[in-house]
Amino acid sequence: MSGEAFNPYRMAQQQFDNIAGQLGLDEATRQLLRAPDKEIRFSIPIRMDDDSFQVFRGFRIQHNCARGPCKGGIRFHPQETVDTVRALAMWMTWKTAVVDIPLGGGKGGVICDPHNLSPREQEALCRGWVRKIIDILGPDKDVPAPDVMTSSQHMLWMLDEYESITGRRAPGAITGKPIGLGGSLGRVESTGYGVVYVVREALGELGMRLEECTASVQGFGNVAQYAIELFQSYGGTVLAVSSWDQKQQSAVTFRRKEGVDLKQLRAMTNSYGEINREKASDAGYEVLPGDAWIEQEVDVLIPCALENQVNRDTVGGIKGSVRMVAEGANGPTTPAADAVIHEKGIRLLPDFLANAGGVTCSYFEQVQSNMNYFWTRDEVLAKLDTKMTDAYYSVSQMAQRRSIPMRDAAYMIAIARVAEACKLRGWV
């Protein structure tokens, strides 16, 4: 991909092709799995608060449903592209397979900036998105969830529209809903907690104690905040965290040598995970450039932002102290950076393993909604811990047995499971 603009879909296909060759997949299976099964692109006209109309572009992409209904979030983002959604749908297929839950991969998006939309306009956008793809949605077809710049409120608007159109109660049609309206306890913290569950096990394999370790985190959205929360609850120290600065239209890193105060930072953060630069500076945090998070002398790096963050240009900033990179985001590390990380002997916990806690708990929510019986938070998190730990050791043992990177091992397990399902169904 040298000399070209970053394209997450090409990266996802490159990663797939590498493993398909190692697995010896037949040509028909390769063609089936390296591209989405179904793509829907559409326009959503919205009446704005000033009575004008604006048309937004939306997507829903289903990569593969051989193992179960498609599952995947919906993003509201001004730089959303169809290729980003394609890549995320493909990664979701591997993610559900590597943690062995009976779901497939899908993803959705709308090109918009929620910063510039009122709550009423966002509600209209959610309802319009559902109306456009109602035929392919449902608890036994395709189940959306929140993602970048969408929330439980957005999911509830979508569910209400789905139920209004279909004329039936179907709380399992959408996950990430508010507690008390079909949402699951533990869902909001599940992705961040899942990252730390696998970090905990990986550090143990390296003979390291989490309570003696330091970390630097990119991003301060839901995943990052709960990853920091659990990391600190285990006794670890987070020295730096980055955040988007909407005013400056750039990222910024906040560092404090004694470790960040999560409660304090949350009090100065808006609903989009953007930390107030002035308040953080007044509270004693060093304010550094956006890429400074990757240049910290820590044991663990946890990217929890967007794609293409650990790349050919930034990977050289990783210090010799770093023993692990845990991908809380989807697709944060490019193949070129992967190679450098491997050469440095750093253990990389790949995205569709490390951040699979979210979809795993979404599956738990779906099960609870469908049977109208809800578990306690402790029950949910215990089930999540078990699933993430089991998946981690399956991948780790495969990596050790074949002397391959963790990402390759995770891909081998996931792709083999999906390919087998396609063969058993007679698709190939």
CB 334 within 8 A of CB 313: no
- pTM, two decimals, is 0.93
Instruction: Round to whole Å and give the CA distance between 335 and 45.
Output: 39
Burial class (CB in 10 A: 0-12, 13-18, 19+), 87: buried
CB 32 within 8 A of CB 428: yes
The pLDDT of residue 4 is: 65
CB 327 within 8 A of CB 349: yes
| Signed CA dihedral, 293, 295, 301, 303: sign only | positive
Instruction: Round to whole Å and give the CA distance between 91 and 411.
Output: 10
Domain 190-354 has CATH 1.10.390.10: no
CB count in 10 Å sphere of residue 404: 16
Instruction: Round to whole Å and give the CA distance between 337 and 423.
Output: 34
Q: In a 3-state reduction of DSSP, which class is residue 217?
A: strand
The contacts of residue 267 (CB under 8 Å, 6+ apart) are: none
Instruction: Round to whole Å and give the CA distance between 82 and 326.
Output: 26
Instruction: Round to whole Å and give the CA distance between 334 and 177.
Output: 32
CB count in 10 Å sphere of residue 300: 27
**Closest listed residue to residue 229, CA positions, set 258, 194, 201:** 194
Sheet hosting strand 214-218, strand order edge to edge: 286-289, 250-255, 237-245, 214-218, 300-303, 324-326, 347-349
Instruction: Round to whole Å and give the CA distance between 309 and 305.
Output: 8
**Closest listed residue to residue 93, CA positions, set 135, 63, 123, 133:** 63
pLDDT in tens, 169-204: 999 999 999 999 999 999 999 999 999 999 999 999
Superfamily of domain 33-172, CATH level 4: Leucine Dehydrogenase, chain A, domain 1 (3.40.50.10860)
Q: Do 190-354 and 33-172 fall under one CATH topology?
A: yes
First to last CA, the chain: 30
pLDDT in tens, 42-56: 999 999 999 999 999
CB count in 10 Å sphere of residue 221: 22
Which token pair is 308? 């293409």
Hey, where are the domains in the chain? 33-172, 190-354
Helix pair 335-343, 8-23: axis angle to 10 deg: 60
Q: Which residue has the tokens 């370790």?
A: 213
Is-catalytic flag, 107?
yes
Q: Which of 71, 95, 107, 387 is catalytic?
A: 107
Q: CA angle, 165 as apex, 103 and 368 as ends, to 5°?
A: 40
Using 50 as the pLDDT threshold, list the residues of the chain that sit under it.
1-3
What torsion do the CA atoms of 285, 291, 292, 294 make, to the nearest 10 degrees?
Answer: 120
Instruction: Round to whole Å and give the CA distance between 371 and 98.
Output: 25
Burial class (CB in 10 A: 0-12, 13-18, 19+), 61: buried
Instruction: Round to whole Å and give the CA distance between 388 and 401.
Output: 20
The pLDDT of residue 265 is: 96
The pLDDT of residue 250 is: 84
